[in-house]
Structure 1
Amino acid sequence: MRFSFKNDYVLLHWKDRIWKIGPDGKLIPKKDDGGEDMLNPLTGLPFYETIEEGTRVAAKRLNHMDLGIYMAHEFLVELASLVRRMQIQLELDGRVPGNSGTFSDTLDGSTNKITLDKTLTDIVESVPIGTTILKVASVEGFTAFSQVTIFDDLHSENIIITSIGTNTITVQALQHNYKKGAKVARSNVAIDTTLSEMGIGYWQTYHVELVEVV
């Protein structure tokens, strides 16, 4: 997160249009070189003399304001996130003096010294209850004697890996049947950094349509 202590927003300095009033208290029409009233070609109404033309409302100026509002809102969101992390760190320091917030995560994408283990793979064939050897798409990132979660759209359970083979993971006997494509993951948590929320991961099903090209 970066904070700039220089305000880069450029003020537009809007000005009012100030009409020139004649001795009779009425607006003074503008005249052309021939002494005729100058008319607005769209409305047919006269143009009037002004002391100050004022600032015209245009998309360029409104977009400039829109960008300024967006930048200010983004700064407030980042500031709120920073304050939340400071509150968490102060709370942790109060509970365990000197820990410097080592184990804090405000779920906004800026963790403090901890990282969610997102190691995940798919089983490549369905498995029945009692299975201990899982054939998987990849064993990268998995280690023996670590806990993983296996899940599909019907069941889930936490199991301990006992050994790693070549594209196989040996685990404790499964308590449920699992479909081909079931997930094996170190964590099935999904973090929404926009809402700063932690939710349950989801089972993914893909539909493939085959089209014959003649």
Structure 2
Amino acid sequence: MDYPDHTACILWFAGCNMRCGYCYNPEIVAGKGKLSYGDILQFLEKRKNLLDAVVFSGGECTLHQDVLWLAHQIKELGMKVKIDTNGSRPHVLENLIAEKLVDYVALDFKALPGAYQKITASQLYGEFVESLDILLYSNINFEVRTTLHSWLISEEDLFNMTKFLKEKGYQGNYYLQHYVGDKGSISKLPESIKKVYTHEKIDFPVKTIWRN
């Protein structure tokens, strides 16, 4: 599910520089982590003939010191590396790509500038755009994805987000995930109405695919 066509395990990196209200990993975002890099490598060493890849998720994995070193160690085991990122650390992403330490990137598109700070509790939109540009001008496989809550992002907002991606030259699939409030999240949000985004008359500028 997390790395299509690959048998992969997920490393959940504790800590994040955003506080998205719909985040369903608040214990990871605010946590300190339980495993060392040594623990992780020991676990992976025993499974190097069973796993195709490792997914770096979180939290925000690019905040962690020595994340490039860890990716290098995993590549030495013959496994691929996928990065899930909010795009807030473009220089880390650029270094991972330059050193051929990442094979696939999933980039979170939280919102356009008008709603970005409200949704993420950060002022990191410029860094997101820089990360998107880095990916667009690289030869690495990547996807853009968005979690949608109808109280936070409207149908018009979503259309404008797809228009932005089209103008940027993004030609991949745009993956959408509807907020599901069946477990704890950072903020208590009202019920989100998925049908807001699935009106038959919407003709999005890029191909959108729902994952739930």
TM, length-normalised to structure 2 = 0.25
Instruction: Give the number of the structure with larger relative contact order, counting CA–CA contacts within 8 Å between residues 6 or more apart.
Output: 2
Q: What TM-score do you get using the length of structure 1 for normalisation?
A: 0.25
